[in-house]
């Protein structure tokens, strides 16, 4: 029976027991392929990552990401949290910054880390530029999915899928009270998935709990075995791209802080920056901080 070290941490928070939970296996070679999904299901965190030597020459590590229900081609808090653990296992003495490139299912992902007193501080990932689908027309069904009335959605903005590595349906909601009242209906989701193959969904409003933040959101991913996620980095590239495309916060480049996870008792903060060249989005950046929680040994 082999032993494999793993670390747990909370991502997109500066306080323990906030943000989004993650387990990282920094040396996953030797774990049987058939066990990867079983381990993620056993740990039952939002995601678990397994780190390998890279197969792409331009990358420093290869990372595979699993929810309790499936493997993902890319994800935000697992990318940042894995970079945090890999950095802390290295020599950070005297360093002010560090850059690493992670090989994920969507290709190389560049990650920049600010080093503060020998520990990683702000960590920022660059996500692929967005792919944008046509607006989704059945607004009544989306309102029903969230247990809202259609007039609680923002009428002048589309419901639309943006994809920066993982597709998300972005749903603009009028106010904070409406977002807080959402009850995600799995029966309606099953109908919509069968009819339209709708992806994970993110509902947002510009009203926030913390006045220092600019956006409040909730994300639901039942297909991945995660009914609601407390902090979703892979959704915030699409969200930022949506806001920049429709010039909701400002024209041109935008930078904002989004809050998530309040309804789950795990407040999270995500830093998003979108750069534009003319009308086109040229760079998508999502960042945050991490808090180490624990470590253990898996015997398999």
Q: For residue 103, indicate whether it is catalytic.
A: no
Q: Of the listed 29, 32, 33, 47, which one is catalytic?
A: 47
d(CA 212, CA 214): 7
How many Å from the N-terminal Cα to the C-terminal Cα in the chain? 6
In sequence order, what are the residues at sequence separation of 6 or more whose Cβ sits closer than 8 angstroms to the Cβ of residue 160? 132, 133, 134, 135, 136, 169, 170, 242
d(CA 67, CA 70): 5
d(CA 44, CA 22): 10
d(CA 211, CA 199): 30
Residue with tokens 């407390």: 230
**Helix (DSSP H) and strand (DSSP E) numbers for the chain:** 6, 18
Sort 292 into a burial class: Cβ within 10 Å, 0-12 / 13-18 / 19+.
middle
**104: β partners:** 107
Catalytic positions: 47
């Amino acid at each position: 029976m082999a032993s494999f070290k793993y670390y747990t941490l909370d991502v997109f928070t500066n306080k323990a027991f906030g943000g989004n939970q993650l387990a990282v296996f920094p040396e996953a070679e030797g774990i049987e392929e058939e066990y990867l999904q079983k381990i993620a299901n056993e740990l039952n965190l939002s995601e678990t990552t397994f780190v390998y030597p890279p197969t792409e020459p331009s990358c420093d590590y290869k990372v595979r990401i699993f929810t309790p229900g499936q493997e993902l081609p890319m994800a935000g808090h697992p990318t940042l949290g894995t970079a945090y653990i890999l950095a802390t296992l290295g020599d950070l003495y005297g360093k002010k910054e560090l850059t690493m490139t992670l090989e994920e299912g969507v290709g190389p992902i560049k990650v920049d880390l600010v080093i503060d007193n020998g520990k990683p501080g702000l960590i920022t990932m660059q996500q692929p530029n967005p792919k944008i689908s046509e607006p989704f027309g059945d607004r009544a069904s989306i309102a029903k999915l969230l247990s809202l009335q259609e007039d609680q959605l923002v009428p002048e903005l589309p419901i639309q899928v943006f994809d920066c590595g993982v597709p998300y349906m972005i749903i603009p909601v009028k106010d904070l009270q409406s977002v807080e009242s959402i009850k995600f209906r799995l029966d309606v989701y099953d109908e919509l998935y069968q009819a339209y193959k709708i992806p994970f969904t993110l509902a947002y409003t510009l009203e926030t709990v913390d006045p220092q933040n600019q956006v409040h959101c909730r994300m639901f991913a039942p297909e991945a075995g995660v009914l609601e996620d407390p902090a979703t980095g892979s959704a915030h590239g699409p969200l930022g791209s949506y806001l920049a495309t429709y010039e909701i916060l400002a024209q041109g480049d935008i930078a904002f802080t989004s809050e998530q996870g309040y309804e789950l008792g795990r407040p999270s903060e995500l830093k998003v920056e979108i750069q534009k060249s003319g009308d086109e989005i040229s760079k998508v950046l999502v960042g945050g901080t991490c808090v180490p929680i624990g470590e253990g040994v898996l015997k398999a």
